[in-house]
């Protein structure tokens, strides 16, 4: 009987802990229509050629990408013209993050700002929000390290 209750309590704790973590679908780790895993041909078909290109670093008007083996590995924007599927944009208050994504999976305090990371359910991708003075200043989507 003790073993049954121990198992029941352990299961309940794991269930509650899973609810507290962010749950981002892999297909929603995207900003402005650009996502990790997007092929170079998809990228250029949708957005044209970059304004500047230095090897695997491509710079567009509102974002820049890192290309690895013919696919987007990372996309970063500092522009409010590039929303996430949940409508989160650069320039918004960081308060929108909890409403859109729940509690962050990881929070890092550095360089006078705060970085909130949300992992995809399959743990292959993440979306990061860099916040200064309570305002989102950068959004990055990438494969997890």
CATH number at residue 30: 3.40.33.10
Report the number of distinct structural domains present in the chain.
1
Q: How far apart are CA 120 and CA 26, in angstroms?
A: 5
- Predicted confidence pLDDT, tens digits, the chain (145 residues): 555 343 434 333 333 334 445 689 999 999 999 999 999 999 999 999 999 999 999 999 999 999 999 999 999 999 999 999 999 999 999 999 999 999 999 999 988 999 999 999 999 999 999 999 999 999 999 999 8
Residue 11: per-residue pLDDT: 38
Q: Give the structural domain span for 86.
A: 24-143
The pTM assigned to this predicted structure is 0.84
CA-atom Rg of the chain in angstroms: 18
Q: How far apart are CA 122 and CA 130, in angstroms?
A: 23
- What is the average pLDDT value for the chain, to the nearest integer? 88
Within a domain: 3: no
Give the dihedral sign, CA 72/78/83/86.
Answer: positive
């Amino acid at each position: 009987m003790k073993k049954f209750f121990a198992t029941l309590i352990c299961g309940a704790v794991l269930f509650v802990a899973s609810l507290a973590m962010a749950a981002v679908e892999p297909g929603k780790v995207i900003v402005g229509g650009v996502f990790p895993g997007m092929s170079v041909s998809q990228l250029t078909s949708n957005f044209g050629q970059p304004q500047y290109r230095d090897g695997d670093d491509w710079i567009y008007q509102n974002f820049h990408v890192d290309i690895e083996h013919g696919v987007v590995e990372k996309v970063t924007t500092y522009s409010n013209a590039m929303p996430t599927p949940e409508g989160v944009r650069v320039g918004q208050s960081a308060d929108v993050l909890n409403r859109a994504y729940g509690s962050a999976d990881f929070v890092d305090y550095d360089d006078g700002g705060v970085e909130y990371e949300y992992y995809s359910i399959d743990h292959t991708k993440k979306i990061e929000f860099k916040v200064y003075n309570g305002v989102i200043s950068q959004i990055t989507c990438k494969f997890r390290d």
